[in-house]
Amino acid sequence: MHLDFRQLRNFVALVEYGSFNRAAEAVCLSQSAFSRSIQALEQSVGHPLFDRQSKLPTLTLHGQTLLPYARRFQELNVELSSHLREADDAQNGEVAFGCGPAPGARLIPAAVGEFHRRLPQARVRFHIDNWYALHHALTSQQYPFVVADSWQAELDPQLRVQPLSPQRCFFVCHASHPLAKQGPVSIQQILRYPFAAPYLPPGVRKVLATLSQRQDFTPAIQCDHIYALWSTLAHTEAISFASEDGFALCQHSHQLVKLELSDLPDEWRLMQTRFAIISPVHAAQPPLAEKLMEIILHADRQLQPLTQGVSV
């Protein structure tokens, strides 16, 4: 019997998410590719693993027998990958990680600078991307940790989430925008204009969908490079949103204006960032990664008084 690790990973995801659609999304596969993977695993085992008569994925006796071994395979894979990365770090002195667009604007550069001052011989490599790409990189052991939005990570028992300080979010536009000098504006006025944003976490997307009275919300312009995204505001009449951190950093360089709302909805009143350092629960972190995570947490605490004192 040949057992494929990716098929076992998908099997565990289906058990934990209880839905083909959500499990496929969690492992970054189409639903058809995910279903084929489960079928291939059943062929390798020689028995059905799920009861096809049930509306929800329900384990058969053979599925129940396989589950603890599949989870152990995952644990061993994470453990082995972690030790191999640790050995590689010890020899080459490099730490690699991923981060989201917003943390990559200010927090991560500050933390990397401090890390480099403390350990000038070590090399750092970080990649900015959206949550789906970062989650895939994390679960495939490309990175020991990522710094990203934690909306979905908090639902995954296989991930350790170390929260960073939350920040308020608000709508922004370029200084030349028609709404820039109007004083308080309504949500409906804002929603008449196109929206520019990086990949939207589910929580933010849900809020914007509710405000615009749609089933879902998709930006007219999407880019995961925050500086490029805000630069497009100078050439369009698009509206975007920013955290306190991002606004403090780019208010003057990108001529951003904070839009005051005349009818602040409850949905947006409580809107704030939910960034965190996210890593696998069962992975032993390489020493350089542990050090960098410690410095990121310290930099986050140090930066907060600066952002909270900014007049916006």
Structural domains present in the chain: 5-88 (1.10.10.10), 97-165+281-302 (3.40.190), 167-273 (3.40.190.10)
Per-residue confidence (pLDDT) for residue 164, from 0 to 100: 93
Per-residue confidence (pLDDT) for residue 126, from 0 to 100: 94
Per-residue confidence (pLDDT) for residue 267, from 0 to 100: 67
Per-residue confidence (pLDDT) for residue 92, from 0 to 100: 58
Asked if residue 33 lies in contact with residue 7, where contact means CB atoms within 8 angstroms, the answer is no
Q: Please, which residues bridge with residue 176 across strands? A: none
Angle of the 61-92 helix axis to the 287-308 helix axis, nearest 10? 90
Residue 235 CB contacts under 8 Å (≥ 6 apart), including other chains:
none
Q: Which regions in the chain score pLDDT beneath 70?
A: 1, 85-92, 267-270, 304-312
Nearest alpha-carbon partner for 66 in 117, 4, 22: 4
Per-residue confidence (pLDDT) for residue 201, from 0 to 100: 73
Beta strands in 21-163 (DSSP E): 94-99, 123-128, 146-149, 159-163
Asked if residue 219 lies in contact with residue 131, where contact means CB atoms within 8 angstroms, the answer is no
Angle of the 5-17 helix axis to the 31-45 helix axis, nearest 10? 110
Per-residue confidence (pLDDT) for residue 310, from 0 to 100: 33
Per-residue confidence (pLDDT) for residue 311, from 0 to 100: 30
Per-residue confidence (pLDDT) for residue 309, from 0 to 100: 35
Sign of CA pseudo-dihedral 30, 200, 294, 105: positive
